[in-house]
Structures are given as C-alpha cells and as structure tokens.
Amino acid sequence: MRRLETVVRVRGVLPTLCVLLAVATPILLAGGAVRAACSETHQQEAELAYGTASEFLTAGRWMAAIPSLESAQSICPEHLKTLEALAKAYREAGTATKARADSLKTAGAVGIAAEVDARVPVFFEKSKAAYARLIALRGNEAEAEDLVGQGLTLVRMKDFPGARASFLKARALAPDDCQILFNLGMMHYSVQDFRGAVAVMEEGLQNCPDLADKIYPRLADAAKKAAEKESKIGNTADAAQFNAKYQEYAKESGGGTTFSLAVQKMKTGLYEEAIVLWRQIVAENPGKQAARLNLAKCLRARGEHEQAVVAYQQFVQADPGNERAIAELIEELTLLKRCAEAQTVAQEGVRQLTPRGQQHLGWIYYYWGDALECGGDFAAAREKFRLAGDSGDPEVLKVASRKIERQDQLIEREKKQKEQAAGG
C-alpha cells in the first residue's frame, strides 16, 4: 500500500469548480457494483486527459490538475485512476481554500474571507461524492487507500462517525498499516469511544515503533478520558486500570525515557543497543507487550533467530491474535529448520484468525508455505502459497506467485528424480 496521510497532515492548493457529466451504459460488476461501460476509444481519450494532469498531480498542483481530471471523467466516468486522483484533488483544494480563508481572517479581510470560506464545503462534498463513486465502482475490489481517502475527506467535513467507519473498513483490508491504526485510534477518540481509542493506539504502539512519539501523547490522553468516563458510570476497577495506563503513557509522552531511547536506536539500525534497552524494559515490566515485540523484531534483524523465537513465543502467548507476529514467528522457526514446529504454529494461527476473514491470513499462509517447503512437501506448500495470494493483499500476492512457480519446479524436479530412480 502506498504511503498514507494522517488526519493531522494538511496539504493542498487553490480549487476550481466543475460538474461531472457523462452518458454511458451501466453494467453490473461482481459485488453488486455498477460501472458505466466506456468504449475503448473513450478509455484512450480519458487516459490522454489524465496524462495532461499527471505532471500537476506529481507536483501537488491540484488546482492545475483538476480541469484535465474533470475532462477525463466527462469522457469516461469509469476511468478509475482519474476518479481516484480527482477525489483527492477536491479534498486538497478544499483544505487549501480553508487555509486561505483563515489567513484572510487573520489579516482582517473578513468579507473576502467569508466568500472564500463559503467555497470550502463544495469541494469536500465533491470529494465525498467522488470517493463514494470510486468505492462503488470497485465493489469487492475496493482498496484500503480508497477507504482511507474517504475517511480523510470525512474528517475535513467533521463527520467523525463516518470517518471512523471508513477507517474500520480500511483496517479490515490492511490490518497492520500504521497510519490506518493511528487514524482509527483518533476517530475512536473523536466519537468519545475512549476504550476503543486506547485499544487501537496500543496496537499501533506494538506494531509501529516509529510512530511512538506521535502515539504516546494521544494514548495518554485517551487513557485519561477512559478513566474519567468509567469512573462516572461507576466502573471503579476499569477506571483504575485506565488511570494506571494514563500514568504509564504520560511518562513516555514526554520523551527521554528508556522506551523512547530504544525506539530511536531501533530507527537508526542500532539493534544491538536497542536490544539491551528492550530487555531492560521487559525485565522491569514483563507486561509491556510493545517492548517484547520490539525486542523480537530487533533480534530478528540481528539474525539472532533462536532468541527471536523465544521473544516471539512469549509475545504470541500473551497476544495470540497478532497476525504479523505469528507470521514472523513461523518465519523464524523455518529459518532454524524447525519445520514441523513452524507448521504447527501456522495451523494454530489460521485457526485463531479465520473468524476475522481471509484478508488476515495472507502472511501466515505464506510462511506456512515456506515451512512446508522446508519439510519437503511441495504440493502442500503450493496450496498454502495459493491461499496466501487469495488473501487480497497485493504485496503477498506478488511474492506468493513466485513461490508457486518455485513449487511447480520443485515438484517437477522431484518427479524426474523418482522416474530416474525407478528406471535405474
């Protein structure tokens, strides 16, 4: 997945306006989506119009790009690349227009500021409509980034419940994506679901140490709000737990702590020094799962596979639903040629995560395939790589496809060896 925005990022340029008009024959797609049927000629013309806008898009010149994008859409409404770019362009134009209006207000030009400000909702509504159409056209093939874009637009419109719904759907497609986790946590907070905010931000802290500086202050605030909310409704025990979390995370949010230092070491590739710090944190606080997972990742990066396995096992025992950690544990066991053990972990991981949906199983199936190849069962490995590709993750599909080809070669080689042995 390409790099995503967070709700705290603001970019954009001045807008332009145009209405999308087109006439086409609708056809029904898989998943119930309806797509207008454009002729090949119209597809080509739309591609040319998009090409005119692409340079402006690359430069972030949304105002200059929008007319060509609108032209491409009027030629062929099903040109998805154009619709995706246009949806974002409208949002960025609205964001920039809002910034300009605020600047004019600060400068005392209240009248002009009001005129400019009145244009802001128009752009966000256009962006919202474009994302809705994009997602409808893609149907079951809608991507996480489509839903993130929709969520970001709804944030600009202050529709936080709607934005949360979009980020929840995006997370289902890309469960480990750090920016999605962060934004979803923020949306839980915005609708006063402080329990949900704490849970998702804690998951983000485990999976995304690079975002620790950004997550900790918000996590501390969410834990504090959760404690206050639980206390008001008489949940004394829960309030005490959230208050303890608040005390812990508030210390970390100031920076300069052992955790922050370990994160910095990890970011700069100083894994040996980071390992010392992570071990210190785990020894002092065995329940700090984020530290334990980061310890496992650093040991893995250093090639200390035996110790990495121990750290992953301890983490997974406490958090059996962390799919990426399970996948990495399988990989580590396979690297150590503990193939049967790796297969057992994979089987249990699939059992645990199947209720969440196929999209959560891609990397587990992938490394299960490696474990089966390690054990010499190439046909079974091929099937697991196929299942990995069926998860819908394009990154997994790309690497799994190569592994399927490899299994075909290994199966053929094994067949020839048996024939030669029989003939000899």
Spans of all domains in the chain = 1-157, 160-255, 347-424
Split at pLDDT 50, 70, 90, the class of 288 is confident
| Residues 6 or more apart whose Cβ sits within 8 Å of residue 93 | 12, 13, 14, 15, 16, 62, 63, 66, 123
Domain 160-255: CATH architecture, name and number where available: Alpha Horseshoe (1.25)
Q: Do 383 and 404 touch, CB atoms closer than 8 A?
A: no
* pLDDT reading at 144 higher than 60: yes
Q: How many CA atoms lie within 13 A of 203 on its CB side?
A: 25
User: What φ, ψ does residue 36 adopt, rounded to 5°?
Assistant: -70, 135
pLDDT at position 256 is 60
- Residue 97, pLDDT above cutoff 80: yes
Q: What pLDDT does residue 208 have?
A: 85
Q: What is the mean pLDDT of residues 162-184?
A: 92
The predicted model gives 264-292 an average pLDDT of 90
**Residue 34 β-bridge partners:** 28
Residue 36 pLDDT greater than 60, yes or no: no
| Percent of residues, the chain, with pLDDT higher than 90 | 60
Structure tokens at 315: 């983490």
Report the DSSP beta bridge partners of residue 35.
27
Return the pLDDT at 19. Answer: 34
- Euclidean distance between CA atoms 278 and 290, whole angstroms: 9
Average pLDDT for residues 60-87, to the nearest whole number? 90
Contact 181, 207 (CB under 8 A): yes
Q: How many CB atoms lie within 10 A of CB 141?
A: 14
Q: How large is the average pLDDT for residues 37-66?
A: 87
Among 20-29, 57-66, 322-331, name the most confident range: 322-331
The CA distance from 272 to 279, in Å, is 11
Length reported for the chain = 424
Cα 107 from Cα 120, distance rounded (Å): 19
Q: State the pLDDT at residue 359.
A: 82
Supply the DSSP symbol for 255.
S
Residue 152: C-alpha distances to residues 83, 136, 180 (Å) = 16, 18, 11
Backbone phi and psi for residue 174, each to the nearest 5 degrees, phi listed first: -135, 75
Contact 4, 180 (CB under 8 A): yes
Report whether pLDDT(154) > 70: yes
Q: Which helix (H) or strand (E) holds 284?
A: helix 271-284
**What is the Cα–Cα distance from 365 to 330, expressed in whole angstroms?**
10
CA distance 133 to 127: 10
Closest CA to 203 of 224, 226, 184: 184
CA distance 161 to 218: 19
Tokens of 376: 């010499």
For the chain, the average pLDDT equals 87
- Compute the 3-state secondary structure of the chain and give helix, strand, coil in percent, each to the nearest 5: 80, 0, 20
The answer for 372, left when phi > 0, alpha when psi is -120 to 50, beta otherwise, is alpha
Residue 73 token pair:
């859409």
Q: Say whether pLDDT at 390 is over 80.
A: yes
Residue 365 phi, psi dihedral angles, 5° rounding: -60, -40
Task: Give the C-alpha separation, 257 to 196, whole Å.
Answer: 26
- Strands, E, within 171-329: which ranges? none
pTM of the model: 0.71
